């Protein structure tokens, strides 16, 4: 069947609307997905359902979704690939987008299977597009060590300087994700007096992160100056005393990055990559790094070994005997 150049706007019927709403609530409340992920997944599934409406000749209900074959999903993926080729962007970027759409559909059908008994066996046989694994891009150790102090010097007031130094010291000194750090409350730091911080990561999974004495000292300095000392107050706050937003922290680092002449890859998440890479270069065990980062799978942590191998290869190529 020949598909139209552009999918028409699609509005789900009441049953499918309820399924979509239930799935989105499930993503946020039970799977602890981030808002950006939920928004992207919603768009992906709505577009897929719009395609299936054209593909099947009518809007699919739960029975029609349960009857889908792997060939139907392959037709959807082929159509998506054709649409991606007409858009701008690299091939790898297009493949990553299509892989995300497969992941979104799998999540949607997982929900339908749990709540409505819809089988997802045909979708599980679909092979997502292959993408190149992105290697972490760490910041050089001397730059990463100086970064919190240099960012603090850019603050407009002493309180903001203390906050920024504490936040970015924590990101590099403990390897936290920016969302994990900004979700902390003062009580979490108060419980870390012995040097171990409880962090809630992806999927609501908790882990204990040891704090170096230098990191704990800077955090405690910020704690003493905190404008709202109540234990249930956010650890990192903005100008109005509310929880600091990730976009604000990213702007702080972007200003520092631009003034330092660094690559755009120098983001708050790059400090987490730097934490792991520098531990690995110092001889830390990969399993220990996995625990510190809160990775569910060791394969995720192994990306740092690939990045380190590139570093070692560059060093080896500098050897006099490597030259012809």
- Residues taking part in catalysis: 177, 202, 269, 272, 295, 304
* CA dist list (Å): 210 to 121, 166, 180: 42, 16, 15
Q: How many residues does the chain have?
A: 324
Rounded to the nearest 10°, the torsion over CA 168, 174, 179, 183 is -100
Task: Note whether 282 and 292 are within 8 A (CB).
Answer: no
Measured CA angle at 74 (ends 72, 77), to 5 deg: 115
Burial of 27 (C-beta count, 10 Å sphere; 0-12/13-18/19+): buried
Question: Which residues are within 8 A (CB) of 245 and not within 5 positions of it... i.e. 6 or more apart?
Answer: 182, 238
Instruction: For the chain, state the CA radius of gyration.
Output: 24
Beta bridge partners of 1: none
Element (H, E) at 111: helix 91-116
- Contact yes or no for 265/134 (Cβ under 8 A): no
3-state secondary structure of 127: coil
Tokens of 40: 């992207």
111 within 8 A of 64, measured Cβ to Cβ: no
């Amino acid at each position: 069947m020949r598909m139209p150049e552009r999918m028409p706007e699609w509005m789900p019927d009441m049953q499918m609307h309820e399924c979509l709403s239930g799935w989105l609530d499930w993503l946020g409340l039970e799977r602890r997905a981030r808002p950006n992920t939920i928004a992207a997944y919603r768009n992906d599934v709505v577009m897929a359902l719009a395609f299936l409406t054209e593909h099947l000749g009518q809007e699919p209900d739960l029975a029609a979704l349960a009857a889908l074959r792997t060939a139907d999903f392959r037709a959807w993926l082929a159509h998506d690939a054709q649409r991606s080729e007409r858009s701008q962007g690299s091939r790898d970027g297009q493949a990553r987008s299509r892989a995300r759409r497969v992941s979104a559909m799998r999540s949607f059908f997982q929900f339908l299977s749990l709540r409505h008994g819809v089988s997802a066996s045909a979708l599980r046989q679909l092979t997502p597009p292959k993408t190149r694994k992105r290697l972490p891009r760490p910041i050089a150790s001397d730059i990463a060590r100086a970064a919190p102090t240099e960012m603090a010097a850019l603050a407009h007031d002493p309180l903001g300087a203390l906050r920024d130094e504490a936040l970015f010291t924590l990101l590099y000194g403990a390897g936290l994700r920016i969302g994990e750090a900004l979700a902390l409350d003062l009580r979490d730091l108060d419980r870390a007096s012995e040097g171990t911080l409880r962090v809630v990561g992806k999927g609501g999974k908790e882990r204990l992160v040891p704090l170096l004495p230098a990191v704990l000292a800077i955090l405690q300095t910020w704690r003493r100056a905190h404008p709202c000392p109540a234990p249930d107050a956010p650890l990192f706050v903005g100008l109005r005393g509310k929880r600091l937003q990730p976009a604000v922290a990213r702007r702080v680092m972007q200003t520092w990055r631009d003034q330092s002449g660094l690559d755009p890859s120098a983001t708050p998440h790059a400090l987490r990559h730097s934490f792991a890479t520098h531990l690995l270069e110092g001889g830390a065990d990969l399993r220990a790094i996995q625990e510190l980062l809160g990775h569910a799978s060791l394969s995720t942590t192994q990306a740092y070994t690939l990045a380190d191998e590139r570093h070692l290869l560059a060093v080896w190529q500098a050897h006099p005997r490597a030259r012809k």
